[in-house]
């Protein structure tokens, strides 16, 4: 078993990736959210490598120092989704399983929709289908309130200043279920001003697109076996978009609702591990 960090170069971007397992095995790609890094997946990746999978979790665009282009235009969903495909091609693995949380889930929905022939199974955590979520931001009062922070992030400079205040106190509140090594890893990324701005550029680049979902289709149906896991005490994702989710699922779809919040990998690890393991093993590539 090889547990390591590796650098993957795609065009002029260099992604820092955590890996675990045997490169010959079937691939699972794990996509982290905000404000976290690939560190969040370490325990789960180890479990899957023991089960005969090769796991890779990139620090996404902007979170990798060598893949941190300046300007919000570089953080559009289509670019973020293409990064995932490019990583699989770099590894010479045309088909793979995909797992994503938060922004990783948002990117995952785009990947699974645009490249459906490449994805063996998809697990989205916390953030539902972007058509459902984007619509909810506009038409659902509860979601609109919950997403006020996204509106605030549209301002230049000020969000960065507020986040850095009192040694990242705002973030540290969100990380209360993370261990100290995990928090150190996160601070290493967000402590770099360029990388902090890049992480906020996800919101700045894609907010208008999300809001369009109230009137237009921004993402269509999903034809990949899908597991979606959501905590009903999530402070960022209300029930409206979650209840709208199923209508876009045109393959096997399993929905798990937990009595929990947003940081499910830290607070509900056993349930997540069991559900995702079953889902991925059921959809193992038999060819």
CATH of the domain at 103: 3.40.50.1820
Q: Rounded distance, CA 222 to CA 250, Å?
A: 6
Q: Rounded distance, CA 86 to CA 81, Å?
A: 9
Number of domains within the chain: 1
What percent of the chain lies above the pLDDT cut of 90? 98
State the residue range of the domain holding 161. 2-282
Backbone angles phi, psi at 131, to 5 degrees: -65, -45
Mean pLDDT, residues 239-262:
98
pTM for the model: 0.98
In a domain, 179, yes or no: yes
In a domain, 190, yes or no: yes
The pLDDT tens digits of the residues spanning 88-139 come to 999 999 999 999 999 999 999 999 999 999 999 999 999 999 999 999 999 9
The pLDDT tens digits of the residues spanning 152-188 come to 999 999 999 999 999 999 999 999 999 999 999 999 9
Q: In this model, does residue 219 exceed pLDDT 80?
A: yes
In a domain, 50, yes or no: yes
Distances (CA, A) of 34 to 22, 50, 178, 282: 28, 27, 14, 29
Q: What is the pLDDT of residue 1?
A: 57
Measured in whole angstroms, the distance separating CA 106 from the mean position of its chain's CA atoms is: 6
Q: What is the pLDDT of residue 230?
A: 98
In a domain, 184, yes or no: yes
In a domain, 287, yes or no: no
In a domain, 173, yes or no: yes
pLDDT-based confidence at residue 286 (cuts at 50, 70, 90): low
List the Cα angle 126/131/134 in 5-degree steps: 75
In a domain, 87, yes or no: yes
Q: What is the pLDDT of residue 56?
A: 98
């Amino acid at each position: 078993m090889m547990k390591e960090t590796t650098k993957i170069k795609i065009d002029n971007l260099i992604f820092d990736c955590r890996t675990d397992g045997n490169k010959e095995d079937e691939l699972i790609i794990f996509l982290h959210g905000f404000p976290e890094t690939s560190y969040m997946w370490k325990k789960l990746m180890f479990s899957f490598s023991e089960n005969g999978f090769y796991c890779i979790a990139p620090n996404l665009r902007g979170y990798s120092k060598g893949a941190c282009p300046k300007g919000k235009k570089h953080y559009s969903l289509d670019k973020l989704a293409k990064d995932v495909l490019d990583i699989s091609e770099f590894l010479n693995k045309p088909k793979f399983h995909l797992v994503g949380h938060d922004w990783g889930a948002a990117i995952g929905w785009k990947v699974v929709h645009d490249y459906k022939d490449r994805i063996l199974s998809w697990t989205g955590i916390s953030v539902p289908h972007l058509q459902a979520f984007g619509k909810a931001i506009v038409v659902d009062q509860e979601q609109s309130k919950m997403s006020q922070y996204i509106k605030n992030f549209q301002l230049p400079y000020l969000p960065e200043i507020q986040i850095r205040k009192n040694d990242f106190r705002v973030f540290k509140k969100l990380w209360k279920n993370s261990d100290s090594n995990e928090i150190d890893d996160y601070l290493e990324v967000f402590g770099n001003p360029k990388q902090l701005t890049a992480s906020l550029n996800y919101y700045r680049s894609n907010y208008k697109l999300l809001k369009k979902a109230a009137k237009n289709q921004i993402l269509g149906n999903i034809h990949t076996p899908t597991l979606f896991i959501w905590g009903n005490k999530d402070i960022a994702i209300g029930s409206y978009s979650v209840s709208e989710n199923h209508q876009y699922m045109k393959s096997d779809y399993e929905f798990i609702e937990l009595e929990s919040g947003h940081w499910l990998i830290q607070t509900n690890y056993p349930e997540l591990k069991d559900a995702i393991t079953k889902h991925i093993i059921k959809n193992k590539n038999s060819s």
